[in-house]
C-alpha cells in the first residue's frame, strides 16, 4: 500500500490512532418497548441507522449499557456472512440515548489525527474490506468473527487532516450522485415489477379493455370464493376442474430394493415453482420405474401450481415448456393440464398468481406453521374464461408489454451493477491518493477527476 501513496501520506495501525481502547458492547436482554439497542442492520450505510434498533431490559442491578456517541465508529464483530463481518458505520447524531450490543465493537479515534468521517468512508472501501476478511475467523455454526486484536492491527492510509477533509467533500459529493441514481433505478425496477404483476392479474379478468361487464354467476360449492369480480359480458366464470385435468405429483418414495430397470429423472419441488417463473438452477432427481415416469411426465403447456408451504406461496406457478426431458413433479406441486384447449395456459398461470393467490390463502389448511391446499380444493378454484380468439390476442398483448418491461429491467439491473463497481473504484482511488491532487500550500482547492 505504501508504494502507491502520494508524498505526505502514511500507513498507520488503527491501534496507534485510538483515543480510547476498543470496547465491545454489552448484553441487554430483549424487552418490548425497553431501552433502545442497535441491531447489526444499523451498520449497512456509512452512518448508523438509528431506526434499526430494538428494546432492551436495562435493570438497575445490571452494568450500565454502553451508549453510541457522536464520532464513534461501530463495527459488527460477528456475522453469518464473511462479506458483512466487520461492517462499520459512524455515529452521527443519536436522536435518543441508544446502546450498542455485544455484537459490536466501538472505535474512538484521536480527531487531531483522523477525521471520523474519513474513517467511516475508508471503512467501506475495498482496502479495508480485504484486510477485515483476511483477519476474520470462522467459528461454530458458520459464524464469522473478528476480535479486537485483529481490528487494532488493520492498517489505515492517512494523509494530513486538511487533505482528509477535502477527500471527504469530494467523496460525499460523488457518492451522493451514485446513491441518487441507484435509488431512482431501484425505484424504477420496483415499479416495473408492480406494473407487470398488475397487468397479468388484470388481463385474466378482462380488465385491460373498456367493455361492458356483468356480475359473476358461479354456483357455490362450499369453498370461500369471496366476491367474484365482474367479467365482460361474453366471458364466463367456471371451476378449474372444468377446464383442466388437475393432478398431484409423485409422493416421496420409501426405500425399496434397487431395480436396474428404474431410471433417474428430474423432479420439480415447491422451490422450483415461483410466481410467474420456474427456477431450474437446482433441480433434484428421483429414481422411478419407467412406466411411472411415462404416466407422471410433464408435458409442454402444463401449468404448475404449488400446494404446500407458507400461506403466501400457495397457488403460485407458471407454465412448463419442456425445459428438461422426462421431468416429473413432487406431491406438493399440482399439475393443471388444459382440456380441449378451453383456456390459454399463460392466462391460467397469470390468474393463479393474482386472484388465485388470495383464493388459496382463504381456502388453505394451516398445521404447525405450514399451510396446504388439497387437491379437491384446488380443483374448485374459480377461473374466468374468455372466447378463444380473444385469449390469444390478450396473451400476445401482455407478452409484448412484459418483454419490453424485462428489457428495461435488465438494463436497470446492469446499471446497478455498474453503480456498485463505480462506488468500489471510487473508494479505492480516494484512499490511495488517486482521487485528487494534494492541497497546494495556499490551501486553494483544485479541480479533481
Domain ranges within the chain, ordered by starting residue:
2-158, 236-385
Residue 440 confidence class, pLDDT cut points 50, 70, 90: very low
Residue 202 near residue 355 (C-beta atoms within 8 A): no
Instruction: Say how far apart CA 374 and CA 383 lie, in whole Å.
Output: 17
Same fold yes or no, 2-158 and 236-385: yes
Give the least confident one: 127-131, 402-406, 432-436.
Answer: 432-436
Q: Which three cell numbers stand for residue 172?
A: 460525499
Report whether pLDDT(212) > 80. yes
C-beta neighbour count of 209 within 10 angstroms: 12
pLDDT, position 62: 57
- The CA–CA distances, whole Å, from 98 to 22, 146, 433 equal 18, 23, 36
Instruction: Say how far apart CA 155 and CA 136 lie, in whole Å.
Output: 15
CATH pick for 236-385 out of 3.90.220.20, 1.10.10.10, 3.30.1240.10, 3.30.465.10:
3.90.220.20
Report whether pLDDT(449) > 60. no
pLDDT > 90 fraction of the chain, expressed in percent and rounded: 76
> For 102-125, what is each residue's pLDDT tens digit?
999 999 999 999 999 999 999 999
Report whether pLDDT(443) > 50. no
CATH pick for 2-158 out of 3.30.70.260, 3.90.220.20, 1.10.150.120, 3.90.79.10:
3.90.220.20
- Whole-number average pLDDT of the chain: 90
Reference 270, options 195, 333, 344, 205; nearest CA is: 333
> For 385-420, what is each residue's pLDDT tens digit?
999 999 999 999 999 999 999 999 999 999 999 999
Query: In the predicted model, what is the mean pLDDT of residues 257-277?
Result: 88
Query: In the predicted model, what is the mean pLDDT of residues 334-359?
Result: 94
Report whether pLDDT(260) > 70. yes
Q: Is the sign of the CA dihedral 285, 289, 291, 295 positive or negative?
A: negative
Instruction: Say how far apart CA 74 and CA 285 lie, in whole Å.
Output: 47
Amino acid at each position: 500500500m505504501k508504494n502507491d501513496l502520494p508524498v505526505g501520506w502514511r500507513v498507520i495501525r488503527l491501534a496507534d490512532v485510538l483515543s480510547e481502547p476498543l470496547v465491545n458492547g454489552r448484553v441487554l436482554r430483549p424487552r418490548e418497548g425497553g431501552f433502545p439497542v442497535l441491531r447489526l442492520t444499523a451498520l449497512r450505510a456509512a452512518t448508523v441507522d438509528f431506526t434499526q434498533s430494538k428494546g432492551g431490559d436495562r435493570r438497575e442491578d445490571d452494568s450500565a449499557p454502553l451508549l453510541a456517541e457522536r464520532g464513534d465508529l461501530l463495527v459488527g464483530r460477528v456475522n453469518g456472512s464473511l462479506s458483512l463481518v466487520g461492517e462499520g458505520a459512524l455515529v452521527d447524531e443519536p436522536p435518543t440515548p441508544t446502546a450498542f450490543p455485544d455484537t459490536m465493537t466501538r472505535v474512538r479515534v484521536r480527531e487531531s489525527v483522523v477525521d471520523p468521517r474519513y474513517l467511516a468512508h475508508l471503512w467501506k472501501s475495498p482496502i479495508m474490506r480485504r484486510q477485515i476478511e483476511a483477519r476474520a475467523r470462522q467459528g461454530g455454526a458458520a459464524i464469522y468473527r473478528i476480535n479486537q486484536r485483529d481490528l487494532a492491527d488493520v492498517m489505515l492510509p492517512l494523509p494530513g487532516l486538511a487533505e482528509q477533509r477535502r477527500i471527504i467533500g469530494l467523496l460525499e459529493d460523488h457518492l451522493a450522485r451514485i446513491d441518487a441514481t441507484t435509488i431512482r433505478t431501484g425505484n424504477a425496477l420496483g415499479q416495473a415489477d408492480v406494473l407487470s404483476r398488475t397487468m397479468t392479474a388484470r388481463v385474466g379478468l378482462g380488465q385491460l379493455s373498456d367493455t361492458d361487464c356483468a356480475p359473476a354467476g358461479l354456483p357455490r360449492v362450499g369453498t370461500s370464493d369471496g366476491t367474484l369480480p365482474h367479467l365482460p359480458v361474453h366471458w364466463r366464470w367456471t371451476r378449474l376442474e372444468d377446464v383442466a385435468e388437475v393432478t398431484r405429483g409423485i409422493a416421496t418414495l420409501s426405500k425399496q430394493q434397487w431395480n436396474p430397470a428404474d431410471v433417474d429423472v428430474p423432479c420439480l419441488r415447491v422451490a422450483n415453482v415461483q410466481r410467474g417463473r420456474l427456477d431450474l438452477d437446482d433441480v433434484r432427481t428421483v429414481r422411478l420405474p419407467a412406466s411411472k415416469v411415462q404416466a407422471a411426465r410433464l408435458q409442454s403447456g402444463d401449468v404448475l401450481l404449488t400446494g404446500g408451504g407458507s400461506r403466501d406461496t400457495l397457488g403460485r406457478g407458471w407454465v412448463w415448456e419442456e425445459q428438461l426431458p422426462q421431468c416429473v413433479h413432487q406431491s406438493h406441486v399440482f399439475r393443471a393440464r388444459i382440456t380441449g384447449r378451453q383456456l390459454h395456459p399463460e392466462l391460467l398461470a397469470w390468474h393463479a398468481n393474482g386472484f388465485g393467490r388470495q383464493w388459496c390463502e382463504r381456502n388453505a389448511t394451516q398445521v404447525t406453521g405450514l399451510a396446504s391446499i388439497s387437491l379437491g380444493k384446488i380443483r374448485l378454484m374459480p377461473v374466468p374464461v374468455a372466447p378463444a380468439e380473444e385469449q390469444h390476442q390478450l396473451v400476445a398483448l401482455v407478452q409484448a408489454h412484459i418483454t419490453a418491461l424485462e428489457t428495461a429491467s435488465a438494463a436497470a439491473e446492469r446499471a446497478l451493477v455498474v453503480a456498485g463497481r463505480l462506488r468500489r473504484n471510487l473508494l479505492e482511488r480516494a484512499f490511495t491518493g488517486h482521487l485528487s491532487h494534494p492541497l497546494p500550500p495556499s490551501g486553494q482547492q483544485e479541480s479533481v477527476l
